[in-house]
Amino acid sequence: MKFDTPAGTNPIDRMKVVGKPIDRIDGPLKTSGTAPYAYEHHREAPDAAYGYVVGATIAKGRVRSIDLDAARQSPGVIAIVTAAEAGKLGQGNFNTAKLLGGPDVDHYHQALAVVVAETFEQARAAAGLVRIDYARGDGRFDLDKELKTAPLHGGNSDEGSESGPEHRTGKFEAAFDAAPVKLDATYTTPDQSHAMMEPFASIAAWKGDELQLWTSNQMIAWGHSDLAKTLNIPKDKIRFMSPYVGGGFGGKLFLRADAVLAALGAKGAGRPVKLAMQRPLIANNTTHRPATRQRIRIGCEADGTITAIAHESGSGDLPGGEPETAVNQTELLYAGANRLTAMRLAVLDLPEGNAMRAPGEAPGMMALEIAIDEMAEKLGMDPVAFRIKNDTQVDPMKPERRFSERNLIRCLEDGAKRFGWSKRNATPGQMRDGRWLVGMGVAAAFRNHLALTSGARVRLGQDGRVTVETDMTDIGTGSYTIIAQTAAEMMGVPVDRVVVKLGDSSFPRSAGSGGQFGAGSATSGVYAACVTLREAVAQKLGFNATDAVFDDGKVRAGNRSVALADAAREGELVAEDKIEWGDLGKKFQQSTFGAHFVEVGVDAFTGVTRVRRMLAVCAAGRILNPKSARSQVIGAMTMGVGGALMEELAVDKRFGLFINHDLAGYEVPVHADIPHQEVVFLDEADATVSPMKAKGIGELGLCGVGAAVANAIYNATGVRVRDYPITLEKHL
């Protein structure tokens, strides 16, 4: 099904099942420990040996020699595989550095060997006996130093862009010079780690030349084809499965070393191998969100009208990498006739930078939304009013393109009312609650809407049950549930008559989970398959597909009504289709919006910040399941607090590694850090995005939170910190 005209009325609009706060259908499986995660497929691979990864202990250079003798003689060792043993490996589309390094070393903790043994402990002990002699090379580890000579880079979304790496509208410099009120400030965000609960983990089992892999991955199709490329075998020789994922946050968008090493280890050992990457390896072996240096300039008229806005960001990555696209939202969020956005990319020999939840917008909004707060203060305007004044209903760089739905103003106004924003004192440091300095902050939320082709197969069984199969993943987001709701609505059955099977490369290719496109794209693919199944049912039962109503387990038209299950009496009916996207995304600017409100207390004596209240108001099209959507947003708000106050991969600029590479040193919020959180969804349906009329919310919930916290700290203390995370020594 090609989606190329705005959706009219369709069966989803009944909202009998879709739009209801149904409990996650995978919930009981997860809370009872019966949902198998990647490392837990004991039944399918009962005789699995254990793999343990040996990571490089230099950041740049060469392996001179690897001495495996002692490790090989260690108890229980079955096989050790290094690049030399593995033979020629290919390179996946989505990996910058090799997943099995050697002899060249591209970054710290790049995998150089996998040790396979009878037990985990034996594999670990033997890994400690692997002796590697290195020739250490010089690496580039200092972002600020490398950015001084770094070239402009248009980012991956800009291939073929006519405007080149700098995006300009009007005459920024002249307008900025002429503006009566100006801001020119630089903000910094650190390297961040996904720090998901479930580590990267895989079980590999070969049967002859066929490989079965259970892994933890957000994007089955990408991982599947990159594993085939890396191992130099045809895709149809690999079954790539990831039915449950214990968090990904973008770290599991791509094939990583655990999958490749489990496969190579299993080949070497001649039996299945299970491998969970040890936690201290993850920060440096896998990807991270790159640090940014962001300069923002805003020029305004005295009445608060933005006349000039520029956002320039610098970040770094391994050779061949991409910039963190932190300037994206600044092209779209506020009006202003004269604009400039640009990115610079430095080459660094730190571990590979890549997507982490809301790549681009998350760190971009951390900077932009402090800048907006600073500008409002310079103008003597309320920051809510300043944002409203500069709202735009068209793409400011292409005014002929309207936003499909843009309810930022309603989010801000509704949030301000609910949060009691009018009680805020605009002068910092004036509100006190005992020893706590109290402050309130606001930020807009913005994240673009993306959509990927997504397919599904739907079966109507003889028992009347509907089974959905798609390689879509559920990374804790609720995919199982919203897909079941979609199929239930379309086929007119209760949600408990729907079985959803996900995360398997033998199912039709879906959008996968990333970029908050998963919910909208995957359910639209299921919608398309259900339309096809409805046609098959109608034909079987002698109905005209356009007149037939599917409801209450029956199909009816006029005064004729037949049980849905009758259509499958002679055998299961199967339908498969996919949703493909026309150019509505070019005709309309499709984005999601919100407003974050935060109240903090800063201890007047110790400088400790406590978040006291949080509210998010979101406008993201139809909300498919308000319960799972709310969970997504409160999780994102929590992540935003982490970004604001705690999270930072500390770079050792001498040796080129992230030194706090475990969950003890890399701090993320715990429940005790997080107060009451409220989430409100505006009633919206965006007919231009899909037949579901729904956009994503999982990343929107993160974008802007950090700045709202920062702005609240400023309001509490009068100290403006432009360098994340806002730890207490920065404002004491």
Catalytic residue among 166, 301, 699, 729: 699
Could you give phi then psi for residue 39, rounded to 5 degrees?
A: -85, 0
The beta-strand segments (E) located in 242-337 are: 273-276, 292-300, 306-317
Q: Nearest distance from residue 513's CB to ligand MOS, in Å?
A: 6
Q: Nearest distance from residue 10's CB to ligand MOS, in Å?
A: 28
Q: Nearest distance from residue 705's CB to ligand MOS, in Å?
A: 16
Q: Is the dihedral of CA 251, 671, 697, 489 positive or negative?
A: positive
Q: Nearest distance from residue 35's CB to ligand MOS, in Å?
A: 20
Q: Nearest distance from residue 632's CB to ligand MOS, in Å?
A: 12
Which of these, 461, 480, 476, 464, lies nearest to 526 by C-alpha position? Answer: 480
Give the residue with the Cβ less far from ligand MOS, 19 or 514: 514
β-pairing, 292-300 vs 181-189, is antiparallel
Helix 361-379, helix 626-645: angle, nearest 10: 70
Give the residue with the Cβ less far from ligand MOS, 310 or 475: 475
Which of these, 686, 624, 620, 680, lies nearest to 495 by C-alpha position? Answer: 624
Give the residue with the Cβ less far from ligand MOS, 601 or 640: 640
**Site membership for ligand MOS, residue 520 (CB under 6 A):** no
Using CA atoms, how far apart are residues 650 and 351, in angstroms rounded to an integer? 12
Going by C-beta distance under 8 Å and a sequence separation of 6 or more, which residues neighbour residue 161? 154
| Cα-to-chain-centroid distance, residue 442 | 23
Number of amino acids touching ligand MOS (CB under 6 A): 10
Q: Nearest distance from residue 357's CB to ligand MOS, in Å?
A: 5
Give the residue with the Cβ less far from ligand MOS, 41 or 357: 357
Give the residue with the Cβ less far from ligand MOS, 489 or 647: 647
Going by C-beta distance under 8 Å and a sequence separation of 6 or more, which residues neighbour residue 560? 543
Six-digit token pair at 176? 């900025």
Residue 152, SS3 per DSSP: strand
The beta-strand segments (E) located in 348-480 are: 394-395, 398-403, 431-433, 436-448, 454-460, 466-469
Chain residues 415-474 in contact with ligand MOS, contact rule CB under 6 A: none
- Under a CB-based contact definition with an 8 Å cutoff, are residues 4 and 580 in contact? no
Q: Nearest distance from residue 250's CB to ligand MOS, in Å?
A: 2
- Under a CB-based contact definition with an 8 Å cutoff, are residues 19 and 624 in contact? yes
Whether omega before 508 lies within 30 degrees of 0, making that bond cis, reads no
Give the residue with the Cβ less far from ligand MOS, 79 or 221: 221
Give the residue with the Cβ less far from ligand MOS, 248 or 415: 248
Chain residues 170-229 in contact with ligand MOS, contact rule CB under 6 A: 218
Q: How many CB atoms lie within 10 A of CB 306?
A: 25
Give the residue with the Cβ less far from ligand MOS, 356 or 533: 356
Q: Nearest distance from residue 631's CB to ligand MOS, in Å?
A: 16
H or E, element range at 83: helix 83-86
Contacts with ligand MOS, 237-266, as mask; x by CB under 6 A: -----------x-x--x-------------
Could you give phi then psi for residue 621, rounded to 5 degrees?
A: 75, -160
Helix 361-379, helix 705-717: angle, nearest 10: 30
| Cα-to-chain-centroid distance, residue 269 | 35
Residue 115, SS3 per DSSP: strand
From 155, 515, 642, 704, residue interacting with ligand MOS (rule: CB under 6 A): 515
**Site membership for ligand MOS, residue 514 (CB under 6 A):** yes
Does residue 85 have an active-site annotation? no
Chain residues 336-395 in contact with ligand MOS, contact rule CB under 6 A: 355-357, 359
Residue ranges binding ligand MOS (CB under 6 A): 218, 248, 250, 253, 355-357, 359, 514-515
- Give catalytic residues, as residue numbers: 699
